[in-house]
C-alpha cells in the first residue's frame, strides 16, 4: 500500500510540474494560421528575377526580353496574386509588341533613306523610332511600378488573410451640425 501511495504522489507531483509546462504554446505547437507571405522575398523575386536576365541579356536578346516580361511579376505569383502578375505581364507584352512594330517601321524608313536615297524617308523612320522608344519607356515603367509595389500588395494580402483592416469615412451629425471622420480598425 505504501508503494501505491508513493506512486500516486510522484505521479501527482510530476503532473503538477509537467502539464503546465507542456501546455505552454511553443513554436512547434502553434496553431496553423493563414498562409502569410514574406514581403522581402516577394520583392527580391521581382527585383532579381528582372535584373539577372537583363544582365544575361548581354549574351542574348531573348533572356533580357523574358526578364523584363516575367521578372517583375515573380513576386506577385509567389504571393498568390496571379491576377496582378498577369496584368503586369500583359501590359509589358503589349508594350513589347508596340516596341517591335516601332523598330520595324524605323528600320524600313531608315533603310529607304540609306539604300535608296529616297527623299522624305526620314519621315518614315522617325515616327517608328519614337513609337519604339515609347514602348521601351512603357516596359521599363511597368517593371519599376511592379517591383516597387510588390511589398505593399503582399502586406495588403497578408492583412486581408489576418482580418486586419483600417478604414475611414466622413460623417455628419445633422442635429449638432458636426462634421468628422470615423476611423475603424479591426484586428
Nearest to 43 by CA among 161, 139, 155: 155
* Per-block mean pLDDT, blocks of 10 residues, the chain (187 long): 53 49 43 74 91 79 81 93 93 92 80 63 69 90 94 90 74 80 72
pLDDT in the model for residue 19: 44
- The whole-angstrom separation of Cα 146 and Cα 49 is 12
Domain residue limits, the chain = 37-157
CB contact at 8 A, 149 and 87: no
Burial 60-94 (b: 16+ CB within 10 A, else e): eeebbbbbbbbbbbbbbbbbebeebbeebbebbee
Which residues neighbour 1 within 8 Å (Cβ) at sequence distance 6 or greater?
none
pLDDT in the model for residue 152: 93
pLDDT in the model for residue 43: 93
Report the predicted TM-score, pTM, of the whole model to 2 decimal places.
0.64
Amino acid at each position: 500500500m505504501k508503494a501505491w501511495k508513493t506512486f500516486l504522489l510522484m505521479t501527482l507531483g510530476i503532473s503538477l510540474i509537467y502539464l503546465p509546462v507542456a501546455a505552454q504554446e511553443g513554436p512547434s505547437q502553434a496553431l496553423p494560421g493563414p498562409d502569410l507571405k514574406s514581403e522581402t522575398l516577394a520583392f527580391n523575386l521581382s527585383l532579381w528575377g528582372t535584373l539577372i536576365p537583363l544582365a544575361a541579356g548581354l549574351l542574348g536578346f531573348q533572356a533580357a526580353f523574358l526578364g523584363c516580361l516575367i521578372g517583375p511579376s515573380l513576386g506577385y505569383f509567389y504571393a498568390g496574386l496571379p491576377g496582378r502578375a498577369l496584368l503586369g505581364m500583359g501590359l509589358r507584352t503589349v508594350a513589347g509588341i508596340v516596341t517591335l512594330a516601332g523598330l520595324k517601321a524605323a528600320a524600313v524608313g531608315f533603310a529607304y533613306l540609306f539604300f535608296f536615297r529616297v527623299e522624305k524617308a526620314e519621315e518614315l523612320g522617325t515616327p517608328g523610332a519614337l513609337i519604339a522608344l515609347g514602348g521601351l519607356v512603357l516596359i521599363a515603367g511597368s517593371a519599376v511600378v511592379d517591383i516597387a509595389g510588390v511589398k505593399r500588395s503582399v502586406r495588403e494580402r497578408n492583412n486581408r488573410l489576418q482580418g486586419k483592416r483600417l478604414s475611414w469615412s466622413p460623417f455628419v451629425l445633422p442635429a449638432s451640425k458636426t462634421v468628422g471622420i470615423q476611423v475603424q480598425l479591426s484586428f
